[in-house]
Structure 1
Amino acid sequence: MKCVGTLPLLMRYMGTLPQHESLLYQILIKKFCGGIKMKSNNYYEAAQDILKYIGGPDNITSAAHGATRLRLVLKDQKLVNKEELEKLDIVKGVFLNGGQFQIIIGQGTVNKVYAELTNIAGIKEMSTAEVKQEASKNLNAIQKLAKLLSDIFVPIIPAIVAAGLLMGLLGLAGKFGLEEYSGTWWWMMLDMFSSAAFNFLPILVAISAAKVFGCNTFLAATVAGIMIHPSLQNAWTQGTGYETIKVLGMIDMPLLGYQGTVLPILLVIFVMSYIEKGTRKIVPEILDILLTPLITVLLTGFLALAVIGPAANVIGAGISTFLTFAIDKLGIIAGLLFGGAYSSIVITGIHHSFHAVELNLLAETGVNTLLPIWAMANVAQGGACFAAFLLTKNKKMKAIALPSAISTLFGITEAAIFGVNLRYKTPFIGAAIGGAVGGAYVVAMKVGMTAVGVTGIPGIAITNSTSMFNYIIGMVIAIAVAFVATMMMGVKEEAA
């Protein structure tokens, strides 16, 4: 099968994990595609064509490149001729993400095209970080909030996934009657390993949030440590019954820790960033190293325990109660709505902000009831994409559709959504129907998960032991319904 850019499309998923992108892409592209080769004079022509279809040099605000993609910030997105861009042999896919117009070209080629493009356009070369900063200026308030939450929570997902997988292993061991080994050294170690990320979750969030809010990460970690200090009751392991102490004669401060919580530490570090920056402005430079950390920790620590933490706990509990109520009372209807709408939310990129909500659910209820619904929506994209593979007569689209459909089984949906289903439109509608039906099923069966960020087949490992069978059935239903719905609607070749 001729390589026509399937792998670069699949690599879009790795956009939030740039450390993996280059190595994995290089291995796969060499194995399956034999590399991408061009004559040197063609790089100039390719750059000219790209410039022509993005509105010319004057439409570029900034430009950079990653391992596989050109990353452009454009003045006017309406000037882009996306259809003509996608027809270029060198272009393997285009999409808008986080205010950046990204053009997938490929490893070893993108840097040469970029060099020609910047030379022709007369613009300076920039880093991807600089382009991201420039792109953020074009986002609306909701997109900026979603990006902020994504920047904070995506980096800590590996730790949560590891903890969730270990919880899943312990759950499976219990299901198969191995509780008798709960006193052994290996069981005790697995139990500690599985709960560590949740017990110290405020510290993980604090470090990540400090980088985003621009404050000292070590001071942030210290404040998070105050919020989970052993002197406070451990809310993660000992429940929510707690004592209070009178502060300043008027504030009843709960002697309750914030283990496993997300919203309290997020708001605390946001406030801390202003306290630290404000203190640094008024403290003499010679005393900065002494007074700024002291004042920051004192003020933030007090506000965290006496004001922000308790208030944020109430808000977090309210969010969890609302979602739990919606799923419990609305049941199938909630599953239909959430499962059907999720893929449309993915297009906007706002779905990354859901990690905060899911972590809050885990902290409050001990189970993530949203992720199974998202998982159904994801695999439904694969069912619809496979139907498109069978229906289309376009050889290039066939080459993209089959591996893209398979990738959804492992939680990678962007290739199917942006590369196939949205182009034909009807497969995307079919996937929404499949996601809705699958979502309704997992809600009806009360399927729950123990972590965030993992869907498809890998998601089985973080599914509650009592829910595992129904999770698999739900995936089969979502895929089948999406496939049948798309086959019934068909695809129009001109739509792609």
Structure 2
Amino acid sequence: MPKYEQQVNEILEAIGGEENIDKVTHCVTRLRLALHDESKVDVDKLEAIDIVKGSFSTSGQFQIIIGQGTVDQVYRDLIEMTDIGESSKQDVKDASAQKMNPFQRAIKTLADIFIPILPAIVTAGLLLGLNNILAGEGIFGFISDELADQSIIDVYPQWSGLADMIFVIAHAAFAFLPALIGWSAVKRFGGSDLLGIVLGLILVHPDLLSAWEYAGAVEDGNVPVWNLFGFDVEAIGYQGQVLPVLFASLLLAKIELALRKRVPDAIQMLVVAPVALLVTGLVTFILIGPITFALGNGITAGFLWLFDMAPAIGGLLYGILYAPLVVTGMHHVFLAVDLQLTGSGDGTFLWPILALSNIAQGSAALAVIFLTKSENLKGLSSTSAVSAYLGVTEPAMFGVNIRYKFPFVIAIMSSATAATFISLNQVLAASVGVGGLPAILSILPGDMPAFFVGMLIAFFMPIILMLIYGKLFMKEKL
């Protein structure tokens, strides 16, 4: 007999019956369903079930929060009690994608490309943060003016070798970022991921002028060029760039797939990869690279202008918008901007705001503990808050804050306040890291004090506002 037979029957009834389910799978904490018609879901009835801790819809999927461990058994019981059959996460994604409009599909494509490389980027960011602590100037500024311009390795030179090694290990993911993106993008577009890696490495080949040296070379008038039949093509690399490799990967995958359909199997190894890489490389250096390089730098310059000319407005707007962007999935677009900023500038001012938004969402969820009588909700609030403090906000946002609305609004208010403060103080992160309390490791040493104040605002302001709201406006506990 299934362990959660009654609850599974109640879930099925609340979501419109077994016949309303197209595909179903699960992750660590949630059931993920592609439904035929989400309008048939009775959310109030669903969330009244004792094992259900919340629900939300995103990117064409309806997700039911059950909890770690329990969700695995509930999924097995659901499969046993119905004729739906097991599905993979990709099956559910594919089924969900059919219900999306072109814009949503474009956002989903970006997410599918960047999410697989996030572990490498975040790991590199954390290690780069450790290197910043060792090598960053101003780390001792709070002690005395004499030490204000010195780093730890200036004061303790025996640590310099370790700092250099950490930098090499940490910086590799950013130095060869096009290779990571090429691998993930070509795979996502249906091509050979190995060719994607090769494409990315081509774009950062050491014989090319580094993208980081391009501006200086233009100023000096010595940008290297290839002469192709009377036309000059700049021989520049695309280190730290995102757009060139994205568009080049799409072209590579399309050419590869077209060739595989037309070239006989016996000679595919001799024809497909060489032709696909050669054509993609030529088109990228001649056309795709220059256009997207200019576009990427233009986007970066636009954000730099806004945060330079009106930092309070820039910080306030991004602080307000980031959490709603997560709800729509559009926050993945800004990961590309963050990587562009860290790759071509002195650091990113957007990612620190992301980290503060996560903290604010966690604190708003945590404060619900003091406003509810439900032990179930208290457990969900505490665990989802911890998750948000460590960079994963979906359980807090969808399971608690959006569900009751006012915690979500209070979290956004707090995030915007903290974001405005750090933007006025021009806080920069050297890299993308863990977007929560550990984020301070990725902040430039001289900006850590200001960011710490921003963290205090993001941590305590939601709790205080939630308690005030509960005292003044809530007639009874949740």
Instruction: With the length of structure 2 as denominator, give the TM-score of the two structures.
Output: 0.88
Query: What runs of 5+ residues in structure 2 fail to find an aligned partner?
Result: 138-150
Letter in 2 for 1:84: K
Say whether the 8 Å CA contact 1:423–1:495 is kept in structure 2. Answer: no
Query: What runs of 5+ residues in structure 1 fail to find an aligned partner?
Result: 1-39
Q: State yes or no: 1:288 paired with 2:268.
A: yes
2:198 to 222, 225, 232: 222
Q: State yes or no: 1:467 paired with 2:428.
A: no
| Deviation (angstroms), 1:408 | 3.0
Letter in 2 for 1:189: M
* CA distance in structure 2 between the aligned counterparts of 1:323 and 1:201, rounded to whole angstroms: 21
Q: How many residues align?
A: 457
Say whether the 8 Å CA contact 2:363–2:463 is kept in structure 1. Answer: yes
| Deviation (angstroms), 1:129 | 2.1
* CA distance in structure 2 between the aligned counterparts of 1:456 and 1:400, rounded to whole angstroms: 18
1:178 aligned residue: 153
1:353 aligned residue: 333
Q: State yes or no: 1:275 paired with 2:251.
A: no
| Deviation (angstroms), 1:187 | 3.6
* CA distance in structure 2 between the aligned counterparts of 1:154 and 1:495, rounded to whole angstroms: 38
Change beyond 3 A, Cα 1:96–1:281: same
Letter in 2 for 1:388: V
| Deviation (angstroms), 1:469 | 0.8
| Deviation (angstroms), 1:130 | 1.4
Matched-pair identity in %: 38
| Deviation (angstroms), 1:461 | 0.7
Q: State yes or no: 1:136 paired with 2:136.
A: no
1:125 to 74, 81, 86: 86
Say whether the 8 Å CA contact 2:372–2:477 is kept in structure 1. Answer: no
* CA distance in structure 1 between the aligned counterparts of 2:242 and 2:459, rounded to whole angstroms: 33
* CA distance in structure 2 between the aligned counterparts of 1:168 and 1:54, rounded to whole angstroms: 45
Q: State yes or no: 1:366 paired with 2:346.
A: yes
1:102 aligned residue: 63
2:293 aligned residue: 313
Q: How does 1:37-56 map to 2 (within 5 A)?
A: 40=1, 43-56=4-17
1:70 aligned residue: 31
What SS does the aligned partner of 2:62 have? strand
Say whether the 8 Å CA contact 1:199–1:236 is kept in structure 2. Answer: no
Describe the superposition over 1:127-178 as per-residue Cα deviations: whole angstroms up to 9, x where unpaired.
Answer: 2221221111112222222221111112222222233233323332233342
* CA distance in structure 2 between the aligned counterparts of 1:99 and 1:198, rounded to whole angstroms: 32
Change beyond 3 A, Cα 1:89–1:293: same
Relative to structure 2, which stretch is displaced further, 64-73 or 316-325? 64-73
2:398 aligned residue: 418
What SS does the aligned partner of 1:89 have? coil
Letter in 2 for 1:321: A
| Deviation (angstroms), 1:493 | 7.2
What SS does the aligned partner of 1:378 have? helix
TM-align CA RMSD? 2.5
* CA distance in structure 1 between the aligned counterparts of 2:388 and 2:194, rounded to whole angstroms: 39
Relative to structure 2, which stretch is displaced further, 389-398 or 311-320? 389-398
2:430 aligned residue: 450
* CA distance in structure 1 between the aligned counterparts of 2:475 and 2:325, rounded to whole angstroms: 26
1:80 aligned residue: 41
| Deviation (angstroms), 1:208 | 1.0
1:194 aligned residue: 170
| Deviation (angstroms), 1:243 | 1.5
Say whether the 8 Å CA contact 2:43–2:55 is kept in structure 1. Answer: yes
* CA distance in structure 2 between the aligned counterparts of 1:83 and 1:265, rounded to whole angstroms: 46
* CA distance in structure 2 between the aligned counterparts of 1:167 and 1:275, rounded to whole angstroms: 37
Say whether the 8 Å CA contact 2:129–2:431 is kept in structure 1. Answer: no
Letter in 2 for 1:47: V
What SS does the aligned partner of 2:349 have? coil
Instruction: With the length of structure 1 as denominator, give the TM-score of the two structures.
Output: 0.85
* CA distance in structure 2 between the aligned counterparts of 1:165 and 1:125, rounded to whole angstroms: 37
Describe the superposition over 1:366-406 as per-residue Cα deviations: whole angstroms up to 9, x where unpaired.
Answer: 30110111122221223333433323344433333244334
1:430 to 410, 420, 437: 410
Describe the superposition over 1:62-105 as per-residue Cα deviations: whole angstroms up to 9, x where unpaired.
Answer: 22334543321111111001111111122233222332212233
What SS does the aligned partner of 2:90 have? helix
Change beyond 3 A, Cα 1:335–1:177: same
| Deviation (angstroms), 1:193 | 1.8
Letter in 1 for 2:191: C
What SS does the aligned partner of 2:426 have? coil
* CA distance in structure 1 between the aligned counterparts of 2:159 and 2:77, rounded to whole angstroms: 65
Letter in 2 for 1:127: S
Letter in 1 for 2:195: L
| Deviation (angstroms), 1:235 | 2.4
Relative to structure 2, which stretch is displaced further, 438-447 or 407-416? 407-416
1:330 aligned residue: 310
What SS does the aligned partner of 1:253 have? strand
Relative to structure 2, which stretch is displaced further, 117-126 or 428-437? 117-126
Say whether the 8 Å CA contact 2:134–2:163 is kept in structure 1. Answer: no
Describe the superposition over 1:428-460 as per-residue Cα deviations: whole angstroms up to 9, x where unpaired.
Answer: 111111111101001000101122242222101
What SS does the aligned partner of 2:446 have? coil
Q: State yes or no: 1:154 paired with 2:115.
A: yes
Letter in 2 for 1:233: L
Describe the superposition over 1:210-261 as per-residue Cα deviations: whole angstroms up to 9, x where unpaired.
Answer: 2111111222222222211121112246765252425434543112111221
Relative to structure 2, which stretch is displaced further, 385-394 or 316-325? 385-394
